[in-house]
Amino acid sequence: MLVQMDASPFAWLEDRGPNMSLHGAIDDATGMVLGLHFRPKEDTLGYLTVLNKMVAKHGVPRSLYSDGHTIFFSPKHNKLTLEDELAGKQVNLTQFGRPIQSCFLNSLGRHFLSPNERVLG
């Protein structure tokens, strides 16, 4: 299952409250909503909460896809030279990326896609 994750800031409560960001996860193939969560702004906790709800109800996704927000990727993620990569240098993971890699990607062979890696077939 390829899952898209994003957050949308909006006046969801209209004039009854402050603007909030709705964090969500959607199955790319079916469009099914897998998890939603409101937070005051787009943040790591919002995405981790959605991920927790999604995994509990639907299982671990095969791949995650997101925009290039720094919650998901270090601003330096595409700045390594080929020489740096060949020398084994890596960019530090974000607060969201660390649990994703340690809990899902390494142990279960999952893949976290950056925006430029997504290929529609």
CATH number for the domain spanning 76: value is 3.30.420
Distances (CA, A) of 14 to 18, 46, 80: 8, 21, 44
Is this model's pTM higher than 0.85 or not?
Answer: no
How many domains does the chain contain in total? 1
What residue numbers bound the domain in which 60 lies?
Answer: 2-117
Which pLDDT score, from 0 to 100, does residue 65 have? 84
Q: Spell out, as residue ranges, where the chain has pLDDT lower than 70.
A: 77, 103-121
Which pLDDT score, from 0 to 100, does residue 81 have? 77
> In angstroms, rounded to a whole number, what is the distance separating the alpha carbons of residues 41 and 43?
6
Which pLDDT score, from 0 to 100, does residue 50 have? 96
Q: Which of 105, 112, 19, 10 is nearest to 66 (CA)?
A: 112
Which pLDDT score, from 0 to 100, does residue 110 have? 41
